[in-house]
Chains A and B, each alone.
Chain A
Amino acid sequence: MSGFLLSSADTKSGDRRSFLVVTWLRLFFGAHLLFSGGRFILTGYVPDIPGIGGEWQMANAALGIYQAVKYMECLFGIMLLSNRFVLLALILEMPATVNIFWLNTFIVATPRQLFTGPQELFLNGVLLLAYSGHVAAAIKPKLAPLWLWEAPRTGERKRPDENSQQPTPQEKPQ
């Protein structure tokens, strides 16, 4: 379809532009997470959140969830910055992102938080969308079971002798 709308030169240019912008976003979000998690690990810094949002945060800290999230943020930040297991980091960070978005946008809702809450969801959401082609089967309505270790490898550089395409298990007739 894209070949029908764009020439191969346009597609190549678009790919390069998109790659550079996604890379900028990946590095920004990775550094953002590394700083947030690393600051807590090194200094124990906890931001002062007003109202019921602060009470929720303190309850999380009492349960140990807040600390776990900060250590995970640090790890996911390293994964994004080193360009290793990027999709896994983005998927695992999403629950914390949704929490931050909800807390900042609807609970705390001060002018600055109305900006930073959606910003967090934008960063994680756009990056997840950018890499979601690797899990495109997630939006297929009907799938046959496929164990992780039996999945075809995608997104990796192909050898010259791998040009013939084999049907994937989810495409086989049931």
Chain B
Amino acid sequence: MTKVEIQAVAICALLSLAVVIGSTGWGYADYRPLRNYDIFALTISWVGFVFYVWRGRKSG
């Protein structure tokens, strides 16, 4: 991975962490498991992210 892609992964990982904290209440409210709602959105966004990284490399 290039430096730029690693930086983008780090930013998106922080955003994902914020989603997990918001959904589960981790550290600030009664804990509940991650909702299907958020699992679906996180899966789509990460699969799409990997696709765009792959496509960017392919096109050079």
Residues of A near any B CB (own CB < 8 A): 13, 16-17, 19-21, 23-25, 27-32, 35-36, 39, 81, 110-112, 115-116, 119
Contact = CB atoms under 8 A, between A and B. Distances in A.
Contacts of A16: 4-5, 8, 56
A30 B44 contact: yes
Given A23-B48, A27-B49, A116-B22, A32 B37 contact: yes
A27 B50 CA distance: 12
* Consensus secondary structure, chain A interface: helix
Interface residues of B, number: 30
Given A21-B12, A27-B49, A39-B37, 15 more contacts: A16-B5, A16-B56, A17-B7, A20-B5, A21-B11, A23-B52, A24-B45, A27-B48, A28-B15, A29-B41, A31-B45, A32-B37, A35-B41, A36-B37, A119-B22
A72 B22 CA distance: 24
Given A32-B41, A115-B28, A24 B22 contact: no
Contacts of A27: 44-45, 48-49
Contacts of A35: 36-37, 40-41
A20 B56 CA distance: 10
B48 to A, nearest CB: 4
A67 B5 CA distance: 40
A17 B8 contact: yes
Given A16-B4, A27-B48, A112 B29 contact: yes
A17 B10 CA distance: 11
B15 A24 contact: yes
11 contacts: A16-B8, A20-B8, A20-B53, A23-B48, A24-B46, A27-B49, A28-B44, A31-B43, A35-B36, A35-B37, A116-B22
Contacts of B8: 16-17, 20-21, 24
A30 B41 CA distance: 8
